[in-house]
Amino acid sequence: MHAALARFVLAGTVLGLGACGTSGTYAERPTDQPATASKPQQASSETSRAFQNAGDVATAEPEIATTAPAVAPAPIAEALPAIPERRLAPMPVIAKRDRFDETGPASVDGLSQVSFAQEGEDFDPVLTPDGEKMIFASTQYRTTSDIYAKPVKGSVVTQLTSDPADDVMPAVSPDGKKVAFASNRSGSWNIYVMPITGGRPVQVTATGAHDLHPSWSPDGKHLVFSRLGEVSHRWEMWVTDASNPSASHFVGYGLLPEWCPVAATGENGADRILFQLPRERGARTFGVWTIDFKDGVTSNAMAIATSGGSALINPTWSPDGKFIAYAEVPAPEGRVEINQSRPGQSDLWMAAVDGSARVKLTDGNAVALMPHWGANNRMVFFSDRAGRGNVWTMDVNNAVLACGGSTGVEHASAAHDAPAQAAAEETEQPAEQK
């Protein structure tokens, strides 16, 4: 496939939009998520996905750009014309746009820009557990992407990786000490881990397949990631021990997996993993799913949010594991007809984990993708609403209240420790106060 689209897809901007048609067609034919995932045909082979140009025959494996192209290889194509600055409130002409089925008003509380790339773009933002620092990928300083850190309320940018290849999709460990990311520095895309202060990365996966989008388990001991298989020709999800990468196993089919930051929120004390999965029939647009994962076995696959007229992508958890957020890309005809490497418009939504109480988080005036939910209900995301792709932040407290949640959610470890702390406090109370 075209190098720009390859970078765009692999950097996770709208990973898999080809399933509903971008400038190509997603060739994967997914099946429903099994209740208990079976292992692929070979231990070393995972799902492979092939993109094809419209009308062409799909190839067995996509062409992955491993050298710097002539233009900045931002995951959002730099060749796109600059988009004029947009108003943050909907304009009358925009009100005529199909705004989908809303159960709540658009929320743009506390909307502000937090990165300011003048060349290239800043993307793939995540927050540290305390919400103080943002880790992100950027092509602002050179044509290949590196990982950077920046205080949310500061302006000093620290470069964490420096390699001629591309480093993308950072994920911060629950203790805030390590960063996992994907890189093609060894040829194929693999997962690496490094200290959050920088330093030499340790390679975690080393297969011929392409491994992307790592996400930490709540205890920080394991990683779940997407692997482009060599035999099944589909995207798979794999779990590996972060300290013993040889102990990896297949857990199901899907893209962009996110481990719930709070442990044991599934049935029978299982963890939950959030991901996107395309339909097997019809428009084949992506929906948002979860599976339960315990002792190497997956179960209880659930479709949290689906749409026949749009692609639901980039899913992420709230720190307390009670809500999800995702991006919605319009596909009114069952396809996303874009002859460029990002949609003309997309919005962020949130919902309760049972799929209820959907609330729109952005105003329909720009591209909004890659949400990441941080402490105290602050969300960072990628947007081009100021004309160039940068990171923005917003307050989703009101949206959480509209969904029946509470405000002031702390980071995952605090939410997870809250019951134990409450029990300890009750035990320590004098008898007359109980």
For position 355, what pLDDT does the model report?
83
Given a cut of 70, whether residue 189 has pLDDT beyond it is yes
Q: What are residue 169's phi and psi, to 5 degrees?
A: 55, 55
- Would you say the pTM of this structure is higher than 0.85? no
Q: Calculate what percentage of the chain has a pLDDT beyond 70.
A: 66
How far, in Å, are 129, 135, 293, 314, 317 from residue 322 at the CA level? Answer: 17, 24, 17, 17, 8
pLDDT in tens, 340-399: 457 889 999 999 998 888 999 998 889 999 999 999 999 999 999 988 999 999 999 999
pLDDT in tens, 53-90: 222 222 233 333 333 322 222 332 222 233 233 222 22
Q: Give the span between the Cα atoms of 99 and 117, in whole angstroms.
A: 29
Given a cut of 60, whether residue 52 has pLDDT beyond it is no
pLDDT in tens, 205-214: 998 899 999 9
Q: Give the span between the Cα atoms of 107 and 270, in whole angstroms.
A: 33
pLDDT in tens, 146-175: 999 999 999 999 999 999 999 999 999 999
Q: Give the span between the Cα atoms of 280 and 13, in whole angstroms.
A: 22
pLDDT in tens, 238-275: 999 998 877 789 999 999 999 999 999 999 999 999 99
pLDDT in tens, 95-109: 222 322 333 334 456
For position 316, what pLDDT does the model report?
98
pLDDT in tens, 217-234: 999 999 999 999 889 889
CATH number of the domain located at residue range(s) 3-433 in this protein: 2.120.10.30
CA count, 13 A, side-chain hemisphere, 109: 14
Given a cut of 70, whether residue 423 has pLDDT beyond it is no
Domain boundaries, the chain: 3-433
